[in-house]
């Protein structure tokens, strides 16, 4: 009878390789095949969201008309045609910690977070301006602010009075200014007659002027101290739907029913007599005449702008070049409102499908124009020589590659002096990006 053969060198200890978990800010992407699920790449996370895309759904039974981050970026508020306001946490577990319902007798069309207290300002189709305390969920002030539907609201602390000022625009053709907070009175402190329905309002950076977009396709500028109209911004062929001021206060963003978005130069002295800085296309307004609300990015100083569209997508442009850098899907209805996180590369979107999405973006990079070539710093990169003084720069995350030419060059991961012309990124002409060193390790 044969015995079962013994195991070789019974006392041998086999050392196994330690499995190191991937960093928490990376996502592993593998192939979908059952037999070989090989790792394709890991995607570097750029924010503190739980996932690159987070859905905020279940609070509203009708379309969401406006959504905003609070000044800290920790909370989100949204208003809906179901006459309610929902409150959410931006970060995990993204709790819907408040639903303020039956606030008005008609849809709530726009809202803004207060800059100096945990309060919200809302305007609605029942002609009222409300002040809501988000810590208690109570309404602290209600004003019958206009004779018709109120389409837009904005606030500022830059007026010089030390108090918050609120401005509203209405279908009754007027723009009115109010004292903010629960201690403000029920009478407006200033009024401007536009003469036709007002679709959007916005404060200037110094709080001394008000911008008002109207049905006459123009943007009217009013002086708060003198109570007079200063000038108008033209260029639209149809009604502007919203107004948003750049973080530096120099440019005004205005989408319109014509599906054309304009960036106006509102500096005291503009190089162009028309004051049109950029003309952007790619976000269709549709036939529903929805007041689409646009926004500037804030974590990168206003390098990008975004507008939702009737094609159920969000269009994001690079301001310097005017090129579309993102076309974001995910919603099942018209995207009504967008907002950027104040500190991270995160975009918030709302839709007629009654949901919101938080989306993670690539961080904005410093874009150098030809006028800045003398100040472009040195960068580190992996360079592949393609011949005829053409080289290939590999982005560290491998999201894209840049082909370019240098007048001065020193290859093989050494210092490169960026003193020449434009690069070509994904087929488009862009200035060389030099926000931080490009380093590629194999």
> Is residue 290 domain-shared with residue 404, that is, in the same domain?
no
Q: Please say which residue of 313, 342, 360 terminates a domain.
A: 360
SS3 373: helix
Q: How far apart are CA 146 and CA 168, in angstroms?
A: 9
Examine the domain organization and report whether 290 and 384 are in the same domain.
no
- Cα 347 → chain centroid: 5
- 349 found inside a domain: yes
Specify the number of domains making up the chain. Answer: 2
User: Are residues 120 and 249 both part of a single domain?
Assistant: yes
151 burial type by CB count under 10 A (0-12 exposed, 13-18 middle, 19+ buried): buried
- The answer to whether position 276 is within a domain reads yes
Query: In the prediction, which pLDDT does 37 show?
Result: 56
Instruction: Residue 314: give its domain's CATH number.
Output: 2.130.10.10
Please tell me whether residues 164 and 57 are part of one structural domain.
yes
Beta strands 138-144 and 128-133, pairing class: antiparallel
User: Is residue 17 in some structural domain?
Assistant: no
The helix (run of H) or strand (run of E) holding residue 165 is strand 165-170
CA 137 to chain centre: 27
Each of the 442 residues of the chain gets a pLDDT tens digit; together they read 555 555 554 555 555 555 555 555 665 555 555 555 555 556 688 999 999 999 999 999 999 999 999 999 999 999 999 999 999 999 999 999 999 998 999 999 999 999 999 999 999 999 999 999 999 999 999 999 999 999 999 999 987 677 899 999 999 999 999 999 777 888 999 999 999 999 999 999 999 999 999 999 999 999 999 999 999 999 999 999 999 999 999 999 999 999 999 999 999 988 889 999 999 999 999 999 999 999 999 999 999 999 999 999 999 999 999 999 999 999 999 999 999 999 999 999 999 999 999 999 988 643 333 333 233 333 333 444 444 444 444 433 333 334 344 333 333 333 333 333 333 333 333 333 333 333 322 2
Q: How far apart are CA 288 and CA 290, in angstroms?
A: 6
One domain for residues 317 and 422:
no
265 and 410: one domain?
no
Residues 133 and 276 grouped into a single domain: yes
Q: What is the pLDDT of residues 131-183, one digit of tens each?
A: 999 999 999 999 999 999 999 999 999 876 778 999 999 999 999 999 997 77
- Nearest-angstrom CA–CA distance, 309 and 431: 28
Helix, strand, or coil here: 341? Answer: coil
Q: Judge whether 258 lies within some domain.
A: yes
Looking at residue 51, what is its pLDDT? 93
Residue 13 lies inside a defined structural domain of this protein: no
Does one domain contain both 91 and 119? yes
Instruction: Tell which residue, 199, 202, 197, has the closest CA to residue 177.
Output: 202
Classify residue 352 as left (phi > 0), alpha (psi -120 to 50) or beta: alpha
Together in a domain, 186 and 268 = yes
**Shared-domain flag, residues 228 and 195:** yes
Helices and strands of the chain, counted as H and E runs: 0, 35
Side-chain-side CA neighbours of residue 354 (13 Å)? 10
For residue 417, the enclosing domain spans 370-430
Do 154 and 291 sit in the same domain of this protein?
A: yes
- pTM for the model stands at 0.76
Burial code (b: 16+ CB inside 10 Å, e: under 16) for 336-372 equals bbbbbbbebbbbbbbbbbbbbbbbbbeebeebbeeee
Alpha-carbon distance values, 84 to 24, 63, 132, 198, 207 (Å): 36, 11, 12, 23, 30
User: Is 23 part of a structural domain of the chain?
Assistant: no
The pLDDT value given to residue 441: 29
Residue 16 lies in a domain: no
Residue 1 resides in a domain: no
Q: Which residue has the tokens 């987070």?
A: 54
């Amino acid at each position: 009878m044969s015995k079962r053969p013994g195991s070789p060198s019974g006392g041998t200890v086999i050392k196994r390789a330690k499995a190191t978990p991937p960093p928490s800010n990376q996502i592993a992407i593998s192939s979908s095949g059952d037999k070989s699920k090989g790792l394709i790449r890991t995607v570097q996370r750029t924010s503190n969201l739980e996932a690159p895309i987070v859905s905020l759904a279940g609070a509203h039974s009708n379309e969401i008309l406006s959504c905003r981050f609070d000044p800290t970026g920790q909370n989100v508020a949204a208003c809906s045609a179901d006459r309610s306001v929902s409150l959410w946490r931006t970060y995990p577990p993204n709790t819907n910690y408040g639903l303020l319902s039956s606030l008005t007798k008609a849809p709530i069309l726009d809202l803004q977070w207060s800059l100096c207290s945990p309060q919200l300002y809302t305007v609605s189709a029942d002609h009222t301006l409300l002040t809501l305390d988000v810590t208690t969920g109570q309404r602290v002030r209600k004003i019958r602010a206009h004779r018709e539907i109120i389409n837009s609201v904005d606030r500022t602390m830059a007026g010089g009075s030390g108090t918050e000022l609120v401005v509203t625009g209405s279908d009754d053709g007027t723009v009115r200014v109010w004292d903010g907070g629960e201690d403000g009175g029920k009478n407006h402190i200033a009024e401007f007659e536009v003469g036709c329905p007002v679709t959007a309002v916005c404060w200037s950076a110094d709080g001394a002027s008000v911008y008002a977009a109207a049905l006459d396709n123009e943007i009217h500028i009013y002086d708060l101290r003198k109570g007079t109209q200063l000038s108008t911004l033209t260029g639209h062929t149809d009604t502007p739907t919203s107004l948003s001021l750049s973080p530096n206060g120099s440019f005004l963003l205005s989408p319109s029913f014509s599906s054309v978005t304009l960036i106006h130069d509102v500096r005291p002295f503009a190089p162009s007599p028309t004051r049109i800085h950029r003309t952007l296309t790619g976000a269709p307004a549709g036939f529903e005449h929805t007041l689409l609300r646009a926004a500037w990015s804030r974590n990168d100083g206003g390098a990008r702008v975004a507008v939702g569209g009737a094609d159920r997508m969000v269009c994001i442009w690079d301001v310097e070049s005017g090129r579309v850098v993102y076309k974001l899907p995910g919603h099942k209805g018209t995207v009504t409102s967008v907002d950027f996180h104040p500190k991270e590369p995160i975009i918030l979107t709302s839709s007629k499908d009654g949901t919101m999405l938080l989306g993670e973006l690539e961080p904005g990079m410093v874009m150098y124009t030809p006028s800045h070539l003398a100040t472009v710093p040195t960068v580190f990169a992996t360079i592949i020589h393609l011949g005829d003084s053409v080289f290939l720069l590999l982005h560290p995350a491998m999201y894209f590659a840049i082909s370019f030419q240098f007048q001065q060059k020193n290859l093989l991961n050494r210092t490169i002096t960026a003193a020449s012309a434009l690069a070509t990124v994904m087929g488009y002409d862009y200035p060389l990006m030099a926000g931080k060193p490009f380093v590629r390790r194999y």
